Amino acid sequence: MWLALLLAAAPAEAARAHSLLTYVAADYAAAVGPGGEVVSPLELDEQRIFAGDAARDLRAAGAADLASGVEKVVAKIAAVAAPREVVPLAQALAAEIAQRFHLSMLPQRAPDLESGRALYRQACAACHGAAGTPHIEHLELSTRPLAFASRQEVARLSPQRIYATVTFGVPGTAMPSFGDALDEDARWDLAFAALLFAHPEGERQRGEELLRTLPRRPDWLQLAIRSDDQLRAGLSHSPFAAEDREALISAVRWASGSVPAPLKTAGASRGQ
């Protein structure tokens, strides 16, 4: 049976450390280039904070040996090591944390996308924008909120990673934790729904027609752990054109759970 993210025996610090190391593994290449050149000082500073917090959390969880391993990641980040030195180490440590503390980061049911979109409007729209684009000129925040409507900004995000962010927040940013305010199912609903902004209705409709030609499609458990970039990689050797692959990704994202009513468009009244 698939388990929820936090089992009763797992300290919250261990789960948070796992989440932070997952961040480092996914985003370090956006901070430092393959030759060790700094691509984004802001991203690099975030990576240092995340790794340092993960080490402290592991010590609090009674895993001093794992904390020492993460401190090696911290040292490599401080030395601006190339991603090939940092990413595999962060991935291996995250996997070891999950194994030792029996963490599984999967939803227990298919997401309710309509509920997730309603939660987004209530909890996220003020910062991230009602349509997934933050209006930063109206915000007084220390960091810029992610634009969920930007295909580039969400390319490396999976529902799993968004779930962890909603659960624990993001250290050093304005992103708070909703772990106490929303139950697990609600956080998963929100995580799946947030990725829909990068996949407009028209593209989804075209993708649904293409989806009918496929012998099988990823289910909601598979989609929970896959980013759009990973889905693109899976389609890279398919016979579909690039725009058709994007339409397919839109369709599978929208088909991952119960789907909200279509947006009102001129074509909608004609059954398109």
Question: How far is residue 188's CA from residue 112's CA, in Å, rounded to a whole number?
Answer: 9
Question: Is 202 found in the same domain as 135?
Answer: yes
Question: Is 191 found in the same domain as 212?
Answer: yes
pLDDT band at residue 270 under the 50/70/90 scheme: very low
* Residue 7 included in any domain: no
Question: Is 32 found in the same domain as 125?
Answer: no
The conformation of residue 269, written as its DSSP 8-state character, comes to G
CB neighbour burial string for 14-36, b if at least 16 within 10 angstroms, e if fewer? bbbbbbbbbbbbbbbbebbeeee
* Residue 3 included in any domain: no
Mean pLDDT of the chain, nearest integer: 87
* Residue 2 included in any domain: no
Last residue of a domain, one of 57, 74, 100: 100
| pTM of the model as a whole | 0.78
* Residue 20 included in any domain: yes
Question: Is 112 found in the same domain as 52?
Answer: no
Question: Is 253 found in the same domain as 169?
Answer: yes
Count of beta carbons in the 10 Å neighbourhood of residue 191: 26
Question: Is 232 found in the same domain as 134?
Answer: yes
* Residue 257 included in any domain: yes
CATH of the domain at 124: 1.10.760.10
* Residue 173 included in any domain: yes
Question: Is 134 found in the same domain as 49?
Answer: no
Question: Is 180 found in the same domain as 89?
Answer: no
Question: Is 111 found in the same domain as 239?
Answer: yes
| pLDDT per position as a tens digit, 110-160 | 999 999 999 999 999 999 999 999 987 666 777 789 999 999 999 999 999
| pLDDT per position as a tens digit, 55-87 | 999 999 999 999 999 999 999 999 999 999 999
| pLDDT per position as a tens digit, 241-251 | 999 999 999 99
* Residue 5 included in any domain: no
Last residue of a domain, one of 81, 100, 119: 100
Question: Is 190 found in the same domain as 133?
Answer: yes
Token pair 């963490």 is at which residue?
103
The total number of structural domains in the chain stands at 2
Question: Is 109 found in the same domain as 87?
Answer: no
pLDDT at residue 144, rounded to an integer: 85
Contact 195, 148 (CB under 8 A): yes
More confident residue, 6 or 176: 176
Question: Is 111 found in the same domain as 184?
Answer: yes
Question: What is the domain extent for residue 90?
Answer: 12-100
- Of 211, 220, 221, which Cα lies nearest the Cα of 246? 211
Last residue of a domain, one of 83, 100, 117: 100
Contact 189, 115 (CB under 8 A): yes
Question: How far is residue 150's CA from residue 122's CA, in Å, rounded to a whole number?
Answer: 20
* Residue 4 included in any domain: no
Q: Which amino acid is at 74?
A: V
